[in-house]
């Protein structure tokens, strides 16, 4: 699985939707103050939108949201965005937290379409399945650091329609994973989601429930 591409997918989804949310809730003077192009959010870093959200939260967003939870989440998302942008090491657990908090943030703001929410949920479930069967401190992005007990990066390789093979570069787990078929469905769904770089032709609910 391409974990870098996975995080980029989540960042892009968050970026587009947060940009729309900000422009729909700020007046034109504030939009002009930040020089926001409300016709194209694709080329604007998510960090910019998070900074605007935090800077204008008390003035424009608190009354709409009625709590500070989304503000707290925005600081955590900024932390993960910076780690991803600086190509820092990320564990499987950290990537799961990033996806989970992206979902929570979007839910608090009530942003994102049905398909985007469904795709993020598929990814989150897939990561949770992997964490159940693996040490969640495995570094899946970046260089291995010594605190992770000898685990190196691993990848998920599709063998055929019914089996999945989890290869470890330098560590063989004592207990072999027995529920490979259960993981297979989630991995195939996530891989198909990530292959759609143009954010079109995503999977539908019926495919997931087969």
Q: Please state the rounded mean pLDDT for residues 57-74.
A: 95
More confident residue, 79 or 4: 79
pLDDT tens, residue by residue, 148-179 = 333 333 333 333 333 333 333 323 333 333 34
For residue 90, what is the enclosing H or E element?
strand 90-91
More confident residue, 147 or 68: 68
Q: Please state the rounded mean pLDDT for residues 63-72.
A: 95
Would the pLDDT of 9 be above 70? Answer: yes
Query: Within the chain, what is the greatest distance between any pair of CA atoms?
Result: 61
Nearest to 23 by CA among 65, 53, 64: 53
pLDDT of residue 188: 64
For residue 158, what is the enclosing H or E element?
strand 154-158
Q: What percent of the chain clears pLDDT 90, i.e. is strictly above it?
A: 43
pLDDT of residue 41: 76
Integer Cα distance of 173 and 138 in angstroms = 12
Domain ranges within the chain, ordered by starting residue: 3-208
Would the pLDDT of 82 be above 90? Answer: yes
pTM over the 0.85 mark = no
Contacts of 181 (CB under 8 A, 6+ apart): 162, 163, 164
Tell me what the pLDDT averaged over the chain comes to.
Answer: 74
Q: Please state the rounded mean pLDDT for residues 14-25.
A: 93
Would the pLDDT of 87 be above 60? Answer: yes
Strands 164-168 and 139-141: unpaired
Query: H helices within 59-203, ranges in order?
Result: 62-65, 69-85, 92-109, 114-133, 180-195
Are 164 and 1 in contact by the 8 Å Cβ rule? The answer is: no
pLDDT of residue 190: 65
């Amino acid at each position: 699985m391409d974990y870098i591409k996975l995080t980029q997918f989540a960042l892009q989804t968050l970026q587009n939707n947060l940009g729309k949310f900000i422009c729909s809730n700020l007046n034109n003077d504030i939009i002009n103050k930040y020089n926001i192009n409300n016709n194209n959010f694709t080329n604007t870093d998510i960090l910019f939108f998070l900074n605007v959200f935090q800077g204008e939260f008390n003035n424009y967003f608190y009354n709409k949201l009625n709590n500070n939870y989304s503000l707290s989440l925005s600081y955590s998302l900024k932390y993960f965005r910076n780690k991803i942008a600086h190509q820092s090491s990320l564990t499987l657990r950290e990537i799961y937290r990033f996806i989970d908090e992206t979902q929570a943030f979007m839910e608090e703001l009530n942003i994102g379409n049905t398909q985007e929410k469904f795709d993020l949920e598929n990814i989150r479930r897939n990561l949770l399945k992997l964490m159940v069967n693996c040490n969640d401190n495995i570094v899946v992005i970046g260089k291995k650091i010594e605190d992770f007990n000898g685990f190196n990066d691993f990848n998920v390789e599709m063998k055929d329609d019914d089996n999945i093979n989890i290869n470890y570069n330098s560590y063989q787990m004592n207990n072999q994973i027995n529920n490979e078929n259960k993981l297979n469905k989630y991995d195939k769904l996530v891989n198909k989601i990530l292959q759609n770089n143009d954010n079109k032709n995503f999977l539908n609910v019926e495919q997931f429930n087969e």
